[in-house]
Structure 1
């Protein structure tokens, strides 16, 4: 339980997908103009991460990496399919994004219209793929820890985009210098928020 909590907190604050690695910046910058829309996309990203990371973890450890197929018999122990991991991970992610897109379109058409092209683009959101690749790199001991990492990464991304959306809504009433309006001030705020989140890296979690 302690390791699960530590993994979640670290993924949210220390290894934040936006502020530590700047992954998923395209959707982050484009959709963070409205809190409601940003919240919807953040929840969708979290859902996809929570669903795809354990599946990709199981595929990595029981199908793809060297020796993963040994459960089929000694003859399969030397097979190494790790060169397929990127393609397999993307296929799993794309499948779940399609599912999310259909559910949102059916039950929240206004949110679907607000997100526009950025909802199907979750499939190529590098924060989602980054979660699976980091999972592969970190070699988590079990699927529960991998799922906790996916949940924490999703919540961290959600906090980042909702926080930015809240700030950008307030900026509409602020006297921002004309050359900095739009993406200029957004990049500056993102950098400042990233510096703020760096303070968590000194905390032992």
Structure 2
């Protein structure tokens, strides 16, 4: 499978948010504003590429040779927490304007299940190094597209009168289902 196809498939047809419904807590909570959704999407994309690449090397060159594959879950969680913490310190020190844009989003990424899921899917699908980079970039990009589109749709809900009994979270879930159907419409194009 070519790298461009991996990026397109992971961003559109196998969208981590709309196909697997991972990362729904921040997806629902942060998609209330377009700026917040774009910031969180960018932060997730950057962190998922870095952590999945590091986890690839940890899995491939440490865990597999030592036959400790069963520790992948624990190692991935520790590396994600460490990388997010280091990234937060570096961005705060050297790029204060970028840190103010990310705000609270960067620490929240540590507990975003999308980051861990992409690393675990990378192991299950046995990607090469460049396949891992392409898959992680496409997954982060797809999550960013989905949360930004959701924020745009929720912004337009202010001008409509949806069913009151569903509430804000219920309408968001219905919108996510409709978006998932729209993204799945591309399924046959990338096969």
Does the pair score TM above 0.5?
yes
* Shift of residue 158, structure 1, vs aligned partner: 0.1
Aligned counterpart, 1:56: 55
Q: 5+ residue gaps in structure 2?
A: none
**1:109-148 alignment runs, 5 A limit:** 110-113=100-103, 116=104, 118-140=105-127, 142-148=128-134
Within 2, Cα distance between the matches of 1:180 and 1:100? 39
Aligned length: 188
Aligned counterpart, 2:159: 173
Contact preservation (8 Å) 2:39, 2:102:
no
TM-score (norm 2): 0.91
Within 1, Cα distance between the matches of 2:168 and 2:54? 39
1:99 aligns with 2:86: yes
Aligned counterpart, 1:72: none
Contact preservation (8 Å) 2:88, 2:106:
yes
Structure 1 pair 109–148 and aligned structure 2 pair: CA distance change class (3 A)? closer
Aligned counterpart, 2:175: 189
Larger radius of gyration: 1
Which deviations, in whole Å up to 9, do the C-alpha atoms of 1:52-109 show, x marking residues without a partner? Answer: 11111111111112xx2xxxxxxxxxx3111221111111111222234342693246
Q: 5+ residue gaps in structure 1?
A: 69-78
Within 2, Cα distance between the matches of 1:62 and 1:108? 33
1:153 aligns with 2:139: yes
Within 2, Cα distance between the matches of 1:101 and 1:172? 34
Q: Compute the RMSD of aligned alpha carbons.
A: 1.8
Contact preservation (8 Å) 1:56, 1:92:
yes
* Shift of residue 121, structure 1, vs aligned partner: 2.5
Structure 1 pair 146–32 and aligned structure 2 pair: CA distance change class (3 A)? same
